[in-house]
Amino acid sequence: MNRFAVSTFCDDVRFEEGSKSSLMGIYQRDLLVPKNLIVLPKLCILTHFGAAIDDPVSSLVVRVHADSQLLHEEILPDEAVAKIVDDMQRADEAAMRTMIGVLVTLSPFVVDRSFELKTTVVADGEVFLAGSLRIKFGTSRARSTPA
């Protein structure tokens, strides 16, 4: 697996000192909403694309679809991608892969029907499914974790 993409869906992403990110309210497979129409303040999608160090990416696009409808498209300029890859290679000569992260914030996030969010990454023309989240009406009980 030389190239891959993965997305994490959550309520918020906080960038902290020391190059640390905190993801709040991470969703697993489903986002359950209690009624037929709800507006969430935001939904964050953190997508990472990885490539082997000897196969660097030169163009990158992140797309978010609700079923077949395009909700958001983030096109990274080729020069920015090249700079990220170059900076990563210089910072760690022993690195085996490069990783590029893209944060998409959908705000406000209106839920008026059940649907599936899908995130794809187009890297050098090749499409990678990064993740999906089912949006459904219903309720869930919080799971308790043993102390």
Over residues 82-117, the pLDDT tens digits come to: 999 888 888 887 888 999 999 999 999 999 999 999
For residue 26, is it within any domain?
A: yes
Domain tally, the chain: 1
User: Is the per-residue pLDDT at 144 higher than 80?
Assistant: no
Any domain includes 103? yes
pLDDT beyond 60 at 49: yes
Burial degree of 100 (CB within 10 A; 0-12, 13-18, 19+): buried
Structural domain contains residue 53:
yes
Q: Rounded CA gap, 25 and 15, in Å? A: 15
In a domain? residue 28 = yes
The CATH number of whichever domain residue 104 belongs to comes to 2.60.40.1930
The pLDDT assigned to 145 comes to 59
Residue 125 in this model has a pLDDT that exceeds 70 = yes
Share of the chain above pLDDT 70, in %: 94
Residue 116 lies in a domain: yes
The pLDDT of residue 44: 98
Q: Which domain range does residue 105 map to?
A: 3-137
Domain-located, residue 75:
yes
pLDDT at 5 over 80: yes
Q: pLDDT-derived band of residue 36, with 50, 70 and 90 as boundaries?
A: confident
**Domain assignment present for 147:** no
- What average pLDDT does the chain have? 91
94 falls within a domain: yes
Residues 6 or more apart from 73 whose CB is under 8 A from it?
61, 62, 63, 64
pLDDT at 62 exceeding the cut of 80: yes
Residue 122's pLDDT band, with cuts at 50, 70 and 90, is very high
pLDDT number for residue 7? 98
Question: Mean of the pLDDT values across residues 65-74?
Answer: 97
